Amino acid sequence: MAIRQLRLGSCPDSWGVWFADDPLQTPWRRFLDELTAAGYQWLELGPYGYLPTDPGELSDELVSRGLSVAGGTVAGAGGPHKDFGTVVTETRKVAELTAALGAENLIFVPVPGYRDDVTGAYSEPAELDPDRWKTLIGNSNTLGRMLFEEYGLRMRFHPHADYHVETQAQTERFLDETDPRFVSLCLDTGHLAYRRADVPAIIRKYPDRIGYVHIKQMDPAIADLAAAEDLAFGQAVAMGASVEPPAGRPEVPPVLDALAELEAALFVVVEQDMYPVDFDRPLPIATRTRAYLNSLGLEGRK
């Protein structure tokens, strides 16, 4: 039976695209062509500058392939608890493009976090002190209000491994203290499961704060090894932590069951952190993942 209120999409991350200017990554036209070939009709824009940033040009490219935009993505500016001027500047660029393309979601990914993805070196403590946590909350509210009032967009904050909102307790505290009018979650099932969160429980406890979903799974053995050896998330991903469903955690059917209970129109975007890029892998993985999710009732039709 189709879960009709949940709309399936994908994003450049599933093609190994983390940065806009990496010369070794999948070319953007190939990404759009393969996204279409894999059977998706919705996409998240990914790193700003990877796809064309001229709204007219990008719209033409999408329309010619039957694609529409689920949301824009802010990543690389860091978290809202520091360098907030930079965060606002980068967010406005993405917001302008996202709104011009008719989408309503702005996914805020607070990276880089508190450690280096490659070396594992810590750049700041893993826990925010009370003053910096207060700054995080206040700035998140400010950002969400700006996006709503100036661009007509909803801020979907993405809990992220190696950032200060990564565990279930931190995520729940963040939701308890931010303004529900302007801040909701991009619920990333993989990042939360990586930190052993109970994803269906979060959905059921905060039904009105789940605004968008990144669906992916993590290899439990690699996640446990990363925790035991204090590896950075990027190091774990390079080891293959992000896996093709249904091979990892969390289990997908209970997550979809909890989302279906919300009876809300949500985008569920496949985001598999593939690294390093193997140009032969993204399309077959994306196709199999779409088929698997379709078999569970998750469709991507407009």
Question: In whole numbers, what is the pLDDT of the chain averaged over residues?
Answer: 94
Question: How far is it, in rounded angstroms, from Cα 285 to Cα 301?
Answer: 20
Residue 300 in domain: no
Residue 287 in domain: yes
Determine the pLDDT at residue 11. 97
**What range does the domain containing 138 cover?**
6-295
How big is the CA angle at 58 (ends 22 and 101), to the nearest 5 degrees? 115
Residue 166 in domain: yes
What pLDDT band is residue 241 in, cutting at 50, 70 and 90?
A: very high
Residue 256 in domain: yes
Q: Where are the beta strands (DSSP E) in the chain?
A: 6-10, 42-44, 68-75, 105-109, 154-157, 183-188, 210-215, 217-218, 242-243, 266-270
159-180 tens-digit pLDDT: 999 999 999 999 999 999 999 9
Determine the pLDDT at residue 2. 62
Token representation of residue 266: 């949500």
Q: Is the peptide bond preceding residue 250 cis, with omega within 30 degrees of 0?
A: yes
Token representation of residue 259: 């989302």
243-266 tens-digit pLDDT: 999 999 999 999 999 999 998 899
Tokens 């505290």 — which residue?
173
270-299 tens-digit pLDDT: 998 876 556 678 999 999 999 999 999 998
Residue 162 in domain: yes
Residue 67 in domain: yes
Token representation of residue 101: 């393309």
Residue 302 in domain: no
3-state helix vs strand vs coil in the chain, percent to 5: 45, 15, 40
Q: Smallest Cα–Cα separation from 136: which of 180, 202, 208, 84? A: 84
Question: How far is it, in rounded angstroms, from Cα 186 to Cα 190?
Answer: 12
Are 42 and 8 a contacting pair, CB within 8 Å?
yes
User: Number of folded domains in the chain?
Assistant: 1
The model carries a pTM of 0.95
- CATH number for the domain that contains residue 112: 3.20.20.150
Residue 1 in domain: no
Return the exposure string of 96-130: e unless at least 16 CB atoms fall within 10 Å of the residue's CB, then b.
bbbbbbebbbbbbbbbbbbbebeebeeeeeeebee
